[in-house]
Amino acid sequence: MLAYTIRRVLGAVPTLLAIITLSFVLMRLAPGGPFDQARRLPPQIERNIEHNYHLDEPLYRQYFRYLDNLAHFNFGPSYRNRAFTVGELIKIGLPVSARIGLAAIFLAIMLGAAFGTVAALCHNRFADHGIMSIAMVGITIPNFVTAPILTLIFGVYGLSLFGHPISLPVGGWNGGALRNLVLPVIILALPQMAIIARLVRGSMIEVLHSNYVRTARAKGLPARLVITRHALRAGLLPLVSYLGPAVASILTGSLVVEQIFGLPGIGRYFVQAAVNRDYTMVMGVVITYATLVIVLNLAADLLYGVLDPRVRL
């Protein structure tokens, strides 16, 4: 297990380095500098600014300077938002994004696994077909369509449920109040929930047909115990390896959701930086995201190794 862990951790380092190099090269290939404005600055001022941001050094020096800074968690200054450094902006935005993202993943896993299991238990019956059709809708319709529609239903018109009118705020962070988080988290979780439900259904159907489940049934174990103690353990295993991709898609989805609901997360900063061509900010966020994805992928793989002894070779 230790050798496996070390091998996997060492494997992640070149990946991260490749990402940093790739985004650095791409950014420097860009035509035009980060300070190009409609009105040209006097050449002396332009030179001073470039000197200040070390843009007049040879490329390889800039690259190593950037690597060195990264090693100290210093992403450099934001070229557009001069009052803040990129690191500060990420520090402000990351907790917001992390809170929404983690809640969404948790919700998606819980409900997705539950629906998938129910569908597998009712294989080829009405509940199965119903859940799978809804899952198909959830996968196909993108979150930038579901978000406005759900906002309209629950936020603007305010649906009444069991006699209680629900009216959720249509945007804003509000210090992370639960009311403000409900819609973004649900919208972020929906597609993942659908994918997880499909995944769990497939593996549960396979597990329920396996020999050991039949043995458990044959020896007279009640259905509840067969499912919770025997089938679920193996049936939920593929979920662990889906965690990595799920995190990546939730990050991508958070760009849209944070934009729509006006949440101050790094996804929103990233989109604004991309539109304004704020190179250091874009790079900083991409590297943060990539690190997150790589670390979580690694964690998921190691967890899989712990749970499934067949992996440990």
Partner 1 sequence: MMTDVTARDKAALIISARDVVGRSLWIDASRRMFANRAAVASIILLSVIAVMAVFAPLLSPYPYDSINYQLISCAPFWWPGHHVPCVAGGAHWFGTDALGRDLFIRVLYGARVSLAVGLVATFVSLFIGVSYGAISGFVGGRIDELMMRIVDVLYSLPFIFFVIILMVVFNRSLWLLFLAIGAVEWLTMARIVRGLTLSVKETEFIEAARASGVRGHAIILRHVLPNIIGPVVVYVTLTIPSVILAESFLSFLGLGVEEPLTSWGVLIANGAYQIETAPWLLIFPSIFMAVTLFCFNFIGDGLRDALDPKDR
Binding site for partner 1 (CB under 8 A): 14-15, 18-19, 22-23, 26-27, 29-31, 136, 139-142, 144-145, 147-149, 151-152, 156, 244, 248, 251-252, 255-256, 259-260, 270-271, 274-275, 277, 279, 282, 285-286, 289-290, 293-294, 297
Nearer to partner 1, 230 or 268 (CB): 268
Nearer to partner 1, 199 or 227 (CB): 199
The distance of closest approach from Cβ of residue 133 to partner 1 in the complex, given in angstroms and rounded to an integer, is 11
Nearer to partner 1, 49 or 298 (CB): 298
The distance of closest approach from Cβ of residue 191 to partner 1 in the complex, given in angstroms and rounded to an integer, is 10
The distance of closest approach from Cβ of residue 294 to partner 1 in the complex, given in angstroms and rounded to an integer, is 6
Nearer to partner 1, 34 or 226 (CB): 34
Q: What is the 3-state secondary structure (H, E, C) of the chain?
A: CHHHHHHHHHHHHHHHHHHHHHHHHHHHHCCCCCCCCCCCCCHHHHHHHHHHCCCCCCHHHHHHHHHHHHHCCCCCECCCCCCCEHHHHHHHHHHHHHHHHHHHHHHHHHHHHHHHHHHHHCCCCHHHHHHHHHHHHHHHCCHHHHHHHHHHHHHHHCCEECCEECCCCCCCCHHHCHHHHHHHHHHHHHHHHHHHHHHHHHHHHHHHCCHHHHHHHHCCCCHHHHHHHHHHHHHCHHHHHHHHHHHHHHHHHHHHHHHHHCCCCHHHHHHHHHHHCCHHHHHHHHHHHHHHHHHHHHHHHHHHHHHCCCCCC
The distance of closest approach from Cβ of residue 286 to partner 1 in the complex, given in angstroms and rounded to an integer, is 5
The distance of closest approach from Cβ of residue 53 to partner 1 in the complex, given in angstroms and rounded to an integer, is 18
The distance of closest approach from Cβ of residue 90 to partner 1 in the complex, given in angstroms and rounded to an integer, is 14
Q: For residues 24 and 18, is the Cβ–Cβ distance under 8 A?
A: no
Nearer to partner 1, 105 or 147 (CB): 147
- What whole-number distance in Å separates Cα of residue 97 and Cα of residue 252? 11
Nearer to partner 1, 52 or 252 (CB): 252
The distance of closest approach from Cβ of residue 234 to partner 1 in the complex, given in angstroms and rounded to an integer, is 21
Nearer to partner 1, 115 or 261 (CB): 261
